[in-house]
Structure 1
Amino acid sequence: MLDQTDLRILDELSKNSRITMKELSERVHLSSPATSARVEKLETAGIIEGYTIKVNQLKMGYFVHAMISVIMKSSHHEPYLSYIKAQAPFVIQNYKISGDSCYLLECKFPSNAVLDEFLVGLSEHVNYKLSIIISK
């Protein structure tokens, strides 16, 4: 069971996973060894699965943000999943969902031309509905 200190540690690490243990311990009002022990406990319990970075997609040149609802043409999903794996640089997330669609793809593309090329390949495997993100 997580207590308030564990929740504060998780909150601080989610804001900045590169924070030093010294800084983290000051923010959660514990000693550095106690903070390190709690972080290790959270890692061992599988609550903290890893540390990552947040990449600015616009600065990387990915200007087109799209959500694509995927409707399978058949019950055989492997060709679609292989295509998505091959298109990994553009795919942010491939959610398996319930409802009108089978999957919801979140993607970023450097241009509409690259998006169009992606959709042409995608249409060989599935039907889809495209939504472009205008703003957050």
Structure 2
Amino acid sequence: MLDSTDRLILEALQANSRMTMKELGAHVHLTGQATATRVKKLEDLGIIEGYTVRVNEDKLGLPVHAMITIFTSSTFHDPYLMFLEEHLPYVRNNYKVSGDGCYVLECRFPSNQELNAFLDGLSKYVNYKLSLVIN
């Protein structure tokens, strides 16, 4: 389905989705127009779903990066999910997983105090294991 040129295009766009088709074409040894046609095909196939930016959350004042494994005692998760809805500014991802735990929650906080307050509230609904991202 994908050839080596398509893979190079995807790799380049993942590194910098703002490059022009001409720049991308030079990178993969195609004309800008041929590159644009390939990118359009990748979009039409649903392989490229969208374009985004990487944000430096430390510079936004959110230096505490937490990965929290969630353990639930029942199959009714609505109270936990509603708690997350109330704390969306902190929540980056909530992955439903198999294996160790039911969810892996990725959050960013401005301070350890904010993290602690979040965990105090979270503990009313679930058990958890906290890991802090070092780098």
TM superposition score category, shorter chain reference = over 0.9
- Name the SS of the counterpart of 1:70 in structure 2: strand
| Aligned residue in 1 for 2:127 | 127
Which runs of 5 or more residues in structure 1 are unaligned? none
Shift of 1:50: 0.6
Question: What TM-score does the superposition give when structure 1 sets the normalisation length?
Answer: 0.94
Gap regions ≥5 residues in structure 2 = none
SS at match of 1:39: helix
Aligned to 1:33: 33
User: Do the aligned partners of 1:91 and 1:108 also contact (CA within 8 Å) in 2?
Assistant: yes
Give the superposed CA RMSD.
1.1
Further displaced range: 64-73 or 36-45: 64-73
User: 4+ residue runs of structure 1 moved beyond 4 angstroms?
Assistant: none
Distance 1:46 1:126 in 2: 36
Give the equivalent residue in structure 2 for 1:118. 118
Distance 1:89 1:53 in 2: 18
Between the two proteins, what is the percent identity of the paired residues? 56
Q: 1:40: how far off?
A: 0.5
Question: How far 1:107 moved relative to its partner?
Answer: 1.1
* Other-structure match for 2:67: 67
Match of 1:102 in 2: 102
Structure-2-length-normalised TM-score: 0.94
Name the counterpart of 1:9: 9
Give the 3-state SS of the residue equivalent to 2:33 in structure 1: helix
